[in-house]
């Protein structure tokens, strides 16, 4: 652990002030070095009071998303156990891809404060302003066949939906295959990208954007986007939301790798999915179709009933679903 985070641990354990020399003795560094590290912690956003002859005291932790905070909040075995963190990124998916190519660990996580050129499905963008939410990616190196990878979008959807419901008390639902919705508006989008080598999966990048603290959205998004804060009226720490998602996801992912089937998740998925029994517009085979969501198949496909009564099976990745809520 970095020295400044060791200092932070000491400050967290200490209800009152603790002197710089006392901290220095514990860590075998000088008082001046302690003061320098404390300045860096302040720059990171920790509110620390330093008073002559009394020492240092942690006043408030705030909504800080750094590897140290995330690591402490995770209960996972391997997901998020290697963390790449940058203040500003173009896209966490792209940054993690380059680290995956260099051989980073299975489960490695990429986080940022601000994302400028984030990518969504079908050429859409996903921008993250500082403090507003979470844009993260994880890399997975599964042994299963490439055909099973699209369901990772569904599993991540389940993980986010569970986290929003249990941690935040939100009435969220999954819009198959890759959106999480609250009150008809999107709070989270998922982008899973697979890199194959010959006929095998080399790795998969699962990228997730969650609107956490936004108080409002720009004109072009305000009718379709929402945040956890807007919907619940409560402020959640991004590290807690992220950890809840990843803790849930790891459990689902391990079970999926063991079963090599989506069937065990089917009932929970159906109960969480907003599309069943609702009208939807889908772009399938370059044609727009209007249909009603009928069921989720055992392999994770969405079965829809067209206006002429016929059933059509939509695979995630082949389809874009719109206009579910008008």
Q: Which residues bind ligand BTN (CB under 6 A)?
A: 91-93, 118-121, 124, 126, 135-137, 178-179, 189-191, 207-209
CB of 95 to ligand BTN, least distance (A): 8
Give least dist CB 27 to ligand BTN, A: 35
Instruction: Output the residue with the shortest Cβ distance to ligand BTN.
Output: 189
CB of 140 to ligand BTN, least distance (A): 14
Retrieve residue 231's tokens.
Answer: 């919907």
Between 179 and 231, CB nearer to ligand BTN: 179
Q: Please say which residue, 211 or 301, places its beta carbon nearer to ligand BTN.
A: 211
3-class secondary structure, 190: strand
Dihedral-angle region of residue 120 (phi above 0 means left; psi in -120 to 50 means alpha; beta otherwise): beta
CA distance readout (Å), 49 to 12, 56, 60, 171, 205? 13, 6, 10, 39, 41
State in angstroms the smallest separation of the CB of 262 from ligand BTN.
20
Minimum gap (Å) between residue 207 Cβ and ligand BTN: 3
- CA 253, chain centre distance (Å): 14
Pick from 14, 107, 6, 3: which is nearest to 58 by CA?
Answer: 14
Task: Give the C-alpha distances (Å, rounded to integers) separating 317 from 119, 218, 281, 322, 323.
Answer: 15, 28, 15, 14, 18
**Chain centroid, CA 29 distance in Å:** 37
Q: Which is nearer to ligand BTN, 113 or 295 (CB)?
A: 113
Q: Residue 126 CB, nearest distance to ligand BTN (Å)?
A: 4
Q: Which is nearer to ligand BTN, 57 or 121 (CB)?
A: 121
Q: Which CB atom, from 34 or from 228, has the smaller least distance to ligand BTN?
A: 228
The rounded distance, in Å, linking the Cα atoms of 154 and 158 is: 6
The nearer residue to ligand BTN, 7 or 180, going by C-beta atoms, is 180
In whole angstroms, how far apart are CA 292 and each of 191, 280, 297? 24, 6, 15
């Amino acid at each position: 652990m970095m020295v400044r985070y060791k200092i932070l641990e000491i400050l967290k354990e200490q209800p009152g002030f603790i002197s710089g020399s006392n901290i220095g003795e514990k860590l075998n560094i000088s008082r001046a070095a302690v003061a320098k590290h404390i300045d860096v912690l302040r720059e990171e956003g920790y509110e620390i009071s330093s008073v002559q002859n009394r020492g240092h005291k942690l006043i408030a932790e705030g909504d800080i998303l750094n590897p140290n905070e995330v690591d402490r909040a995770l209960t996972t075995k391997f997901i998020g156990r290697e963390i790449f963190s940058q203040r500003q990124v173009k896209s966490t998916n792209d940054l993690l891809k380059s680290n995956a190519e260099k051989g980073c660990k299975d489960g490695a996580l990429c986080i940022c404060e601000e994302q400028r050129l984030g990518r969504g499905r079908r050429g859409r963008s996903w921008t993250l302003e500082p403090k507003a939410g979470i844009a993260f990616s994880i890399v997975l190196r599964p042994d299963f066949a490439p055909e099973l990878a699209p369901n990772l979008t569904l599993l991540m959807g389940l993980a986010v939906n569970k986290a929003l419901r249990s941690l935040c008390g939100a009435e969220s639902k999954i819009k198959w295959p890759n959106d999480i919705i609250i009150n008809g508006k999107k709070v989270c989008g998922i982008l899973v990208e697979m890199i194959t080598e010959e006929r095998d999966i080399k790795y998969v990048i699962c990228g997730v954007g969650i609107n956490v603290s936004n108080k409002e959205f720009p004109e072009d998004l305000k009718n379709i986007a929402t945040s956890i804060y807007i919907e619940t009226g409560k402020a959640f720490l991004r590290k807690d939301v992220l950890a809840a998602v990843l803790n849930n996801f790891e459990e689902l992912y391990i079970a999926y790798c063991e079963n090599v089937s989506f069937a065990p998740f089917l009932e929970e998925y159906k109960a969480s999915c907003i599309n069943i029994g609702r009208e939807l517009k889908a772009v399938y085979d370059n044609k727009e179709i209007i249909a009603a969501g009928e069921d989720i198949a055992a392999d994770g496909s969405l079965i829809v009933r067209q206006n002429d009564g016929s059933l059509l099976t939509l695979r995630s990745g082949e389809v874009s679903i719109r206009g579910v809520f008008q």
